[in-house]
Structure formats: structure tokens, C-alpha cells
Structure 1
Amino acid sequence: MPTNRAPARGSAITSMSFGHACVDIYQGAVAALVPFFVSERHYTYAAASGIVLAASLLSSVMQPLFGALTDRRAMPWLLPVSTLVGGVGVALSGLGHSYPLTLAVIALAGTGVAAYHPEAARIARQASGGSHTAMGWFSLGGNVGFAAAPVLVAAVVGVGGLRASPLLVIPAVAGAVLCGFAVRALGAGGVGASHAARVPGRNDWASFVKLSVAIACRSIVFVSLSAFISLYAGRRVGGDIAGTAALFLLYLGGAVGTVAGSRLAGRFGRVAVVRWSYVLCVPAVAGVVFVPGPLLYLFVALASAGLYVPFSLHITLGQDYLPRRIGTASGVTLGLAVSVGGVVSPLVGSIADATSLQWALAPLVALPAIGALVLCTLREPARLEKTPSVAGPSANSPRQEAR
């Protein structure tokens, strides 16, 4: 008689959500560290945005590669190991004054983050049975980590300076423990072979490419705002606290937006919800760039909602467009398309150095509109009816029904 694994899967999703929060602290921490690099090391906008590029460049290339690897063989051990690698990279970034060394350790952090996400998304998808709500909770964990990053960095680096950055490794240790618990709860310790052939359905590469273009537009807006909103709000409103509050608000909206997105998708459909979220971003980003004073925070909150509501829906849409390449889909939607923003951020910094930060951010208003137009050509994909076991194929492991 098969064993009921629902309690184990529920606890695994919970652990993975908290573990995801610990990992994504290190994505948010890079942007949160930028003002401290500017103030303590006197970096220019272009040099500071190069830090963001270092975190994103390797990640943008490596996440799809790790995704392709997990399509061939399950690697659940990557979750705790990559969490530690990401944390160590950020923790070392404040030591010394060498710009190349800082770029190197930030790139190490980006590699850890790259290794984590495709396998984590694959395991979360399979553990959840394809549930929008469960994947929403998994994505929420990452968004909470983003929101916590500026607060954590302000508490550690704002008080002790960049030399206190080694303390930032603590969430990585906690995250590694949580990921290890999730893998153990799911019985995912073994390494399986390729599972792509066991999944029904056909890959819709054309729709997946269109979705990736829209995600790239969203990424450029989000990463550029993440990198510069602290500096921009500090000057538009006044004070370092004002800048930290704006970055925190930008990330905090993810907590509400991700949960709202999964619920709205159940009622209106994922493609429609994603499309209208991009439409909302157009006036919201315009308000962030052009509206002065405290009213800026309202538009930051609206932009955050528009950017985060589609976040978990991007993942499940990508996985459903490529049902036989879930690891690849996760690597691109969470990696390559998302990391494009980090690649573009030095250009934004260079424009800011040559003109002003406001003029550098102004072109961001057009990108959500482009994304919305691309999304108008997409249709809702068919949902997967079954998902393979977490550890890969096994003659004794029943497939889980999608909810």
C-alpha cells in the first residue's frame, strides 16, 4: 500500500520557502550594498553598477546550464551547497579594498544563486504537484528574502561598516540546514537519471521565447530600480533612511504581489494576470522616476506590485510551455531572462554619470509596455497532469497528480 506523503511534502514546501528566503537575501544584498560601496569606497555609478553586473553575469549564463543538467539528472544536494556558496561570496565582499577581488567574490555569490534556483524550482514543482498556491508560497519565500536584504545589510553594514560583512553569512547557514531538511523529507537524497521522457506533452518553444522576452523587460526595470532606488530616493526625499525605506518597500511588495498573483491566476488565468501586471507597471514606474517628495513611495509600492504579481506565474508558465524540459525552463525564467537586468545596469550607471540618475531611469518606463505587447500574443498553456518524482525516475515511485 502506498504511503501518504502529503505531510512530508507540506513540510518540505515550508522548509523550501524559508530556505528560498535565505538564498534570495544574497540577491537583494548586492543592491543593498551599493550605497555603502559608493560612500565608503567612493565608487562611481558605473563602478557600483559593475558590482550588480558581477552578481548577474555568471548567473545569467549558468542558471540555464544548471537547469539543463537537472533535466538529465536530479541533483538535490545542490540546494544546501549552493546556499552556502552564495552566502560566503556576499560575506567576503566587504573585506579589503580591491575592486577586482570584490567583483570576484560577488561573482562567486552569483554562481551559488545560479546553482540553487533551477533545481529548487524543479523540486518545489514536483513536491507541490503543480499547485499554483504551493509554487506561490515557494516564490514568496524568495521575495521575503529580497525584502529582508536591505534591512539586514543596514543592520550589519550600516552599523559596523563594510568590514562587518562576514556576519552576512549567517542566513546561508540557516538556509543550508532548511534545504537539507526539505531534501530529506522528500526522500530526494538519491541522484536520478533523465526524467524528461516520462513527462507528457510537447514543448512550445515559440511561446517560451516570447515569455522570456517579457521577463527580460521586467528584469531590466526591477534590477535597475533595485540598484539605484536607494540613491535616487535618498536624494528625492532626503537621507539614507529614506533610500533604505524605498528599497525595502520595493522588495516588500513581493510578499503581497506573489500571493495575490497565484490567487488571481486561479480566477482570471495566468497570462491575463501577467499581462495586466505589466500594464500597471507603466504608470507606476513613471511615477517613481518623475514624482518628487514622499509621494514617490506610493509609486514604489505600485511598481513593486506590478513587478511581483507575475513572478511565480512566470515560473509555472515557463514550465508548462516546456513540460519536457522543466529544469531548463526554470533556469531561464529564474536565471537568464531575469539576469539580463544585471547585464544592462552598468549602462544605466554610465548614463547616470553622464547626465543624471533621473534621465538614466526614464527609459525604464517603456519596457513594461513592450513586455505587455509581447504577452498579448501568448495563450494559456495546458497544465501538466502528472509530475515525476523528486529524485528522478524510479519503478517504485508513483507520479504525483497535479492539483
Structure 2
Amino acid sequence: MNIRVLLLLFMAHLLTDFGQGSIPIVGQYLRDTAGLTLSQVGTLTLVSSLLSAVVQPLVGIYSDRARNGWMIPLGLAAVGAGVWGLAHASTYAWQLFFVALTGVGVATFHPEGMRAAHYASGGRTTGMSIFQVGGNAGYGLGPAAAGAAIAAAGVAGWPGGARRPGVGGGVRRAVLPAVRAVRGGGAAVAGAAWTGGAGESGEPGDLTGRGKPAPSRAGQPSAPSQDRWGPAAMVLTVVALRAAFQFGLTTFLPIYYVEVRGGDPARSGLVLSLYLLVGALGTLVTGPIADRIGPRRYMALAMALLPVLHLATLATPGSWMLLFLALQGFFLVSQYAVSVVLNQLYVPNHLALVSGLNVGLGITVGGIGAATAGWIADAVGLVPTLMGMSVLPVIATVLAVRLPEPQPEPAAHTA
């Protein structure tokens, strides 16, 4: 594994999802300050998701052909502009526009980032987990940072509130070194041939996959593995169901915490961050476990635990709720890297495309799930809606246990 490149990708992923992770908290405060309904809050998520879904597979196709690493910083910049605009938008139409811009940024970043992480990791779940945990950590830190900044300075104070002493100083100290590192390593991440690692070609410094076919252990060129789109489609269905479940939960958990549990609005971001950051920890911890028992088995096991943990979160008080919420985040979020690796094993000849579909379809259905949950919650109430969402991981578990074993990676990828 090329640890240097993986760490640079980790930082870029953290920054991209840091901005995206703040959107649910901004939505919660816009519900109070701008009078948005639950369905309007859910629609903000939906718009971002739909734009991401449309763009992401297209970027994946382009990335498989052109292998243009500059899509990574370009996506990061679009997310930053979108988050800033959302915080300063004066009308709902402009809020929708800037949320859409964040979706385009996310779609631009992920396919090329995942393709690069695949080569840098040698196709291992452990290496992909390093990349994925950056996004999980950023997505988890975003709500806490946004909640603190907005509580101190209002919605327009985010992201500008990060400049206030005591509000965003810690975030700034953590994020700015990452920005400098990504900028300093830009030639390594965005160049056509990144130095210091072995790519698909097996040649040092080539993480683009442009080289010759990797030789087998016997010294003969290995036959290319065939794409298996049937099992990949099943994984994508599991990803879609999981995303609908997670997006509905992350969109309305802050509102549930404040309006149903009577929690402090200023702490709602911390509750959401707890859920997401424990998930980031799960991604890092479970990478070696998935490598040992297989990504298919791990995904099925983790998915089977979610309905019980979700209902326990809604049924238990105080600290018990937080404990079950943290466990739910651990087993849900940790599946993201596993599902990416699994689909890359099923479709080894279109890595960026299948990665883009993995993220794009998940974001799309997740956005639709969040918007649908908002419409249902406006009609029947928030608590029944959240409880009903537990059926989604049940269906996903049934599909996950029926997946076939993937073909092993070629020797050059796993050495």
C-alpha cells in the first residue's frame, strides 16, 4: 500500500465530506429561522443527492478514460462554495441552488478519489478504509462544527463562524494543516503518475492504471477478470437501501433530538457527530476484519444488526439512547468501504464507474429517502416514520446474504 498517497486522499476526503456533513445541522436551524417544513428540509437533501447522482457516473466514465486527478481538488472547491452559499442564501430557491452545488462537488470528487485509493491500497479493504474514514470523519466533524458556529453566530456564521475565537478555532487548527498538505501534495495526487507506489501496472509510481497488464505469479500475463454486473447490481441495491435509511436518520435525528427528546439545539450537532464519528472509527477498525472474513460476510453481518440497534435507539432514554446510536453508527457507516471494495471485485475493469455508481446511487436514493421521510413525517409524525425506517436494513440483509463470493484480486494487486 502507498500510505503517503492514501493519507493525502484521506485529507481531501475529510475536507469534502466536512462541508457536506454540516448540511443537516444548517437545515435544522433553517427550519427555525426560515420556517422550513420537514418536507422542505428533506428536499434540500434530495436536490443535493439528485445532482450528485446525475454527475457521478458521468465523472466515473470520464475518470476511467482520462484518469484526471484534478477532479479531486475541483470537487473539494465546489463543496466549499456550496456550503458557504447555503449559509448566506436569502431565499429557499437560492438554498436549493447552493445545496445542488455541493452535490456536484461531491460527485466530482468521489469517483476519481476512489479509483486512486484502489490503486494506492492494492485493492485491500484496509487501504480503502483509510480513504473512507477520512470522509466519515469529515462528515462526523461537520455537524459539531456547524452547530457550535451557528449557535454562537447564527446561520450566516457558518462557515464564517470558524474564524471566531473559541467557536471554530479547533476546527481551523485541524483543517488548515490538511488543506496545506493536500495543496503541497497536489502534484502527487493530481498528476498523471503519482510517485512512490505500485499501481495496476505494477510499476513504481504508476497509480493511474495506464501501464501494462500485471504479470501473474508464474511470470505470465494474467487474464483480465470478467465483470460480474449481476452481483454488483445486488450490492448497489443494498447500498441504496442503506443510504435511504442513513440519510433519513441523519436528516431528522437533530430535529428528533430537539423536538421529541427535548434536547438542547446547540448540542444536536454533537449527537449527530457522535453517530458519524463512531462510524468513522468503525470504518478503520473493521477494514482488517473484512479483509479476514471477506467483505460479503462482514456487510451481511453488520446490516443484520441495524434494525435492532435502531429500534433500541428510539426506545431507550438518555445515555442508553446515545450508546445504541453510537453502535448503530459503528455498524452502518463501516459498511461503506466494504461495499466499494466488494463492487470493485465484482467489476474490476470499470473501477471508477462502479465506484461512482456506488456513491451516486446511494446518494440519490438516500436523498429520495430523506425527502420521502419528511413528507411522511409531516403526515403521520416523526417518531412513527423513524420507526418504520427499520424495515430498510431488514430487506438489505436478505439481499446481502444471497451475494456470491467475489473473485480474488490478481496477484499484483494483493502483493
Which TM-score applies when normalising by structure 1?
A: 0.88
| CA offsets 1:176-202 (integer angstroms, 9 cap, x no match) | 654444452367247999959958210
Q: Secondary structure at the match of 2:22?
A: helix
Give, as a single letter, the amino acid of the residue that structure 2 aligns with 1:383. P
In the alignment, is residue 336 of structure 1 matched against residue 361 of structure 2?
A: yes
Out of 23, 26, 38, the residue aligned to residue 33 of structure 1 is 26
CA contact (8 A) 1:79 1:179 kept: no
CA shift for structure 1 position 378 = 0.8
Is 1:188 matched with 2:191? yes
Distance between the aligned counterparts of 1:23 and 1:174, measured in 2?
A: 15
Distance in 2 (CA, whole Å) between partners of 1:73 and 1:233 is 46
1:174, 1:47 → 2: CA distance? 36
Match of 1:217 in 2: 241
Aligned residue for 1:97, secondary structure, equals coil
> Whole-Å Cα distance in 2 between the matches of residues 339 and 175 of structure 1?
29
Structure 1 residues 102 and 186: alpha-carbon distance in aligned structure 2, compared to 1, 3 A threshold: closer
For the Cα contact (< 8 Å) 1:271–1:378, is it kept in 2? yes
Report the CA distance shift for 1:231/1:316 in structure 2 as closer, same or farther (over 3 A).
same
C-alpha contact (below 8 Å) 1:72/1:195 kept by paired residues: no
In structure 2, distance between residues paired with 1:12 and 1:273: 26
The question of 1:402 aligning with 2:395 is answered no
What amino acid maps onto 1:330 in structure 2?
A: S
CA RMSD, 1 decimal? 2.5
Q: What is the aligned partner in structure 1 of residue 281 from structure 2?
A: 256
Q: How far, CA to CA, are the matches of 1:273 and 1:304 in structure 2?
A: 15
> In the alignment, what sits opposite 2:326?
301
- Listed one character per residue, the Cα deviations across residues 325-346 of structure 1 (whole Å, up to 9, x for unaligned) are 0011110112222431112211
2:64 partner amino acid: D
Q: CA deviation at 1:291?
A: 3.1
Gaps of 5+ in 1: 1-5, 387-399
1:339-390 residue CA offsets vs partner (Å, 9 max, x unmatched): 311122111111111121001112211111100100111122123326xxxx
1:163 maps to 2:156: yes
Distance in 2 (CA, whole Å) between partners of 1:174 and 1:112 is 21
> Where do residues 354-369 of structure 1 align in structure 2 (5 Å cutoff)?
354-369=379-394
Aligned twin of 1:240: 265
Answer whether contact 2:146 2:269 (CA < 8 A) is retained.
no
**1:232–1:243 Cα contact (<8 Å) kept:** no
Distance 1:327 1:267 in 2: 25
Task: Write the letter of the residue equivalent to 2:386.
Answer: L
Task: Name the amino acid aligned to 2:14.
Answer: A
Distance in 2, Cα, partners of 1:271 & 1:61: 27
What percentage of aligned pairs have identical amino acids?
A: 27
* CA offset digits 1:134-160 (Å, max 9, x no partner): 111111111100110011102222211
Structure 2 Cα separation of the partners of residues 223 and 31 of structure 1 = 9
Q: Secondary structure at the match of 1:353?
A: helix
Q: Which amino acid aligns with 1:326?
A: L
Change (3 A) 1:288 1:237: farther
Equivalent AA in structure 1 for residue 414 of structure 2: A
List aligned pairs for 1:35-54, cutoff 5 A.
35-54=28-47
Give the aligned residue type for 1:206. G
User: Is the contact made by 1:83 and 1:172 (CA closer than 8 Å) also made in structure 2?
Assistant: no
220, 225, 232: which is aligned to 1:201? 225
Q: CA 1:196 to 1:236, structure 2 compared with 1: closer, same or farther past 3 Å?
A: farther
Match of 1:272 in 2: 297
Residue 316 of structure 1: aligned partner = 341
Q: Is the 8 A contact 1:237 1:293 kept in 2?
A: no
Match of 1:289 among 293, 296, 314: 314
Give 1:241 deviation, angstroms: 4.0
Aligned counterpart, 1:73:
66
The alpha-carbon distance between structure 1 residues 187 and 155, as it changes in their structure 2 partners (threshold 3 A), is closer
**For residue 33 of structure 2, what is the amino acid of its counterpart?**
E
CA separation in 2, counterparts of 1:143 and 1:58? 21
Q: Distance in 2 between matches of 1:401 and 1:48?
A: 43
What is the Cα deviation at residue 252 of structure 1?
1.1
CA 1:127–1:48 in structure 2 vs 1: closer, same or farther (change >3 Å)? same
- Separation in structure 2 between the aligned mates of residue 336 and residue 178 of structure 1, nearest angstrom: 31
Q: Which residue among 81, 88, 91 is the counterpart of 1:88?
A: 81
The answer as to whether partners of 2:240 and 2:366 remain within 8 angstroms in 1 is yes
Does the 8 Å CA contact 2:21/2:139 hold for their aligned counterparts? yes
1:172/1:93 CA distance change after superposition, 3 Å: farther
CA distance in 2, matches of 1:258, 1:168: 30
Contact 2:232 2:343 in 1 (8 A): yes
Q: Give the structure 2 partner of residue 130 of structure 1.
A: 123
The amino acid across from 1:184 in the alignment is A
TM-fit CA distance, 1:101 = 0.6
8 Å contact from structure 1 (residues 87, 172) kept in 2: no
Measured in 2, the distance between the counterparts of 1:239 and 1:364 equals: 25
Alignment partners' CA distance in 1, 2:40 and 2:116 = 37
TM-score by length of 2: 0.86
Would the alpha carbon gap of residues 278 and 267 (structure 1) be closer, same or farther in structure 2, given more than 3 Å must change?
A: same
SS in 2 for 1:381: coil
Q: Hey, what's the Cα distance between the residues in 2 that align with 1:282 and 1:186?
A: 39
Give 5+ residue unaligned stretches, structure 2: 163-171, 195-206, 215-223
Match of 1:146 among 135, 139, 145: 139
Distance of 1:380 and 1:168 partners within structure 2: 49
Q: Distance in 1 between matches of 2:208 and 2:289?
A: 36
- Whether contact under 8 Å (1:22, 1:174) holds in the other structure is no
